[in-house]
Amino acid sequence: MNKKSMYLSIGLITMILGIMLAIQFRTNRYIEQGVPADRAQELQVELSKLERDSRKLDREIEDLSYKLEQAKKGQLQAEAAVQDELKKARINAGLITVSGPGIEVVMDNPSNQSRRSSIFIIRDEDLLRVVNELRGAGAEAISINGRRLISTSEIRQAGSFININLERVEPPFQVLAIGSPDKLKSALEISGGLVDYFKDLGIEVKIQSHSSLTVPAYHKNLQFNYAKAVRKG
Q: Which is nearer to another protein, 17 or 189 (CB)?
A: 17
- Minimum CB distance to another protein, residue 113 (Å): 28
* Span interacting with another protein, options 108-116, 196-204, 220-228, rule CB under 8 A: 220-228
User: Applying CB under 8 A, does 128 fall inside the site for another protein?
Assistant: yes
The DSSP annotation for 51-88 comes to HHHHHHHHHHHHHHHHHHHHHHH-HHHHHHHHHHHHHH
User: Applying CB under 8 A, does 93 fall inside the site for another protein?
Assistant: yes
- Alpha carbon of residue 164 to chain centroid: 20
Which of 112, 160, 122, 120 lies closest to 144, judged by CA?
Answer: 122
User: What is the C-alpha separation between 188 and 196, in angstroms, rounded?
Assistant: 9
- Minimum CB distance to another protein, residue 202 (Å): 21
* Span interacting with another protein, options 63-71, 109-117, 191-199, rule CB under 8 A: 63-71
Residues 182 to 211 in contact with another protein, rule: CB under 8 A: none
Residues 166 to 185 in contact with another protein, rule: CB under 8 A: 176, 178-180
- Which residues have a Cβ under 8 Å from the Cβ of 104 and sit 6 or more positions away? 174, 175, 176, 207, 208, 210, 213
Q: Which of 2, 112, 117, 231 touches another protein by CB under 8 A?
A: 231
Local structure of residue 119 (DSSP, 8 states): G
Looking from the CA of 122 toward its CB, the CA atoms found within 13 Å total 27
Local structure of residue 98 (DSSP, 8 states): E
Which of 59, 84, 87, 56 lies closest to 70, judged by CA?
Answer: 84
Q: Which of 15, 115, 138, 168 touches another protein by CB under 8 A?
A: 138
User: Applying CB under 8 A, does 130 fall inside the site for another protein?
Assistant: no
User: What is the C-alpha separation between 109 and 118, in angstroms, rounded?
Assistant: 10
User: Applying CB under 8 A, does 214 fall inside the site for another protein?
Assistant: yes
Residues 2 to 61 in contact with another protein, rule: CB under 8 A: 6, 9-10, 13-14, 16-17, 20-21, 23-24, 27-28, 30-31, 34-35, 37, 39-40, 42-47, 49-54, 56-61
Q: Which of 125, 167, 182, 189 touches another protein by CB under 8 A?
A: 125
Instruction: Identify the burial level of 130 via C-beta atoms within 10 angstroms of its C-beta, where 0-12 means exposed, 13-18 middle and 19 or more buried.
Output: buried
What's at 198, amino acid-wise?
Answer: F
Q: Which is nearer to another protein, 109 or 163 (CB)?
A: 163
Count of chain residues binding another protein (CB under 8 A) = 111
